[in-house]
């Protein structure tokens, strides 16, 4: 089967023009089939504040009311998406910016309230339309996906970009050798979040369970708690047939792909 790289970049890269430009140059240089999924960065929050629209966050997740949905759609699917696409075009990469509503690409439903928290118009994914993505590959078009989905009834939804990347990787694993890459500000999974020299090169399920166990944490283990959802997603993707998941620094994208950087998640 052909190789496919599903690559997700976060807000810290998007918020830094120089880092984003460097990352996109590296992304454009990748010869294999590839998909880029991007988060939102601080632009949506900054714009909402300027417009006097209060933003509420719970455990790092945005509460998406109707006015906030308008903001994130304009920023994520508008400015950020088209800025990325324009830069990729300048690097010879024929990209196309899409939301989940385009081509019925990603259908979702409004998230149910969790522990009495109503996340508003936040979406949880129901289905990925793999056929649309494969048609884009056949026409040498590179999908750039913003974290906006739809419910099939005319309602847009704000959906976590990490989850979008994971679900796309899982869905396409039937037809491609898929590698899922999460790019963020750290060099990988760190034993000590304050020391970039403590990158774990390879992480098995058994090792991960030990690292996040209360026993290890109580003994002074320093694995970053915010990394746990990413790692849970990584092992879920591996279980669904994704060949490899790597977590690493956006500035090291090509080294991550070649196996010289980042943390590789393996199913052993």
Instruction: Over range 234-247, report the average pLDDT.
Output: 93
Instruction: Give 223's pLDDT tier (boundaries 50, 70, 90).
Output: low
pLDDT at 222 (0 to 100): 57
pLDDT at 192 (0 to 100): 77
Instruction: Over range 183-201, report the average pLDDT.
Output: 86
Supply the mean pLDDT for the chain.
90
Global pTM reads: 0.93
Instruction: Give 112's pLDDT tier (boundaries 50, 70, 90).
Output: confident
Distances (CA, A) of 246 to 187, 225, 230, 234: 11, 18, 10, 8
Token pair belonging to 18: 């120089």
pLDDT at 40 (0 to 100): 86
CB atoms inside a 10 Å sphere around CB 197: 8
Over 80: is that where the pLDDT of 221 sits? no
Instruction: Over range 23-39, report the average pLDDT.
Output: 97
Instruction: Over range 73-99, report the average pLDDT.
Output: 97
> Which one is predicted more confidently, 149 or 12?
149
Distances (CA, A) of 92 to 22, 140, 141: 14, 12, 11
- The C-alpha atoms of residue 212 and residue 92 are separated, in whole angstroms, by 43
Nearest partner of 30 among 258, 266, 265, judged by Cα: 258
Over 60: is that where the pLDDT of 217 sits? no
**Contact present, 148 and 72 (Cβ < 8 Å):** yes
Range of weakest confidence among 58-72, 137-151, 246-260: 58-72
- The C-alpha atoms of residue 1 and residue 25 are separated, in whole angstroms, by 26
Over 70: is that where the pLDDT of 34 sits? yes
């Amino acid at each position: 089967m052909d190789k496919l790289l599903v690559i997700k970049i976060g807000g810290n890269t998007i918020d830094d023009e120089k880092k984003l430009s460097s990352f996109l140059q590296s992304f454009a240089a990748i010869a294999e089939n590839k998909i880029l999924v991007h988060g939102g960065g601080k632009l949506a929050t900054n714009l909402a504040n300027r417009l006097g629209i209060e933003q509420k966050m719970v455990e790092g997740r945005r509460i998406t009311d109707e006015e906030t949905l308008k903001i994130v759609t304009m920023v994520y699917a508008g400015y950020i998406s088209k800025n990325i696409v324009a830069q990729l075009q300048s690097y010879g990469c024929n990209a196309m910016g899409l939301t989940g509503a385009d081509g019925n690409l990603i259908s979702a439903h409004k998230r149910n309230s969790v522990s009495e928290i109503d996340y508003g118009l936040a979406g949880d994914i129901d289905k990925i339309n793999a056929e649309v993505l494969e048609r884009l590959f056949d026409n040498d078009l590179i999908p750039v996906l913003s974290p906006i989905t739809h419910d099939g009834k005319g309602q847009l939804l704000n959906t976590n970009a990490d989850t979008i990347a994971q679900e796309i990787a899982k869905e396409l694993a039937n037809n491609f050798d898929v590698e899922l890459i999460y790019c963020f500000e750290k060099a990988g999974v760190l034993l000590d979040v304050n020391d970039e020299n403590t990158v774990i090169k390879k992480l098995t399920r058994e090792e991960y369970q030990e690292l996040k166990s209360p026993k290890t944490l109580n003994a002074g283990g320093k694995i970053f708690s915010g990394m746990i959802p990413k790692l849970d997603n990584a092992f879920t993707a591996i279980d669904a047939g994704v060949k490899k998941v790597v977590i690493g620094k956006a500035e090291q994208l090509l080294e991550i792909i070649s196996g010289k950087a980042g943390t590789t998640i393996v199913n052993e």
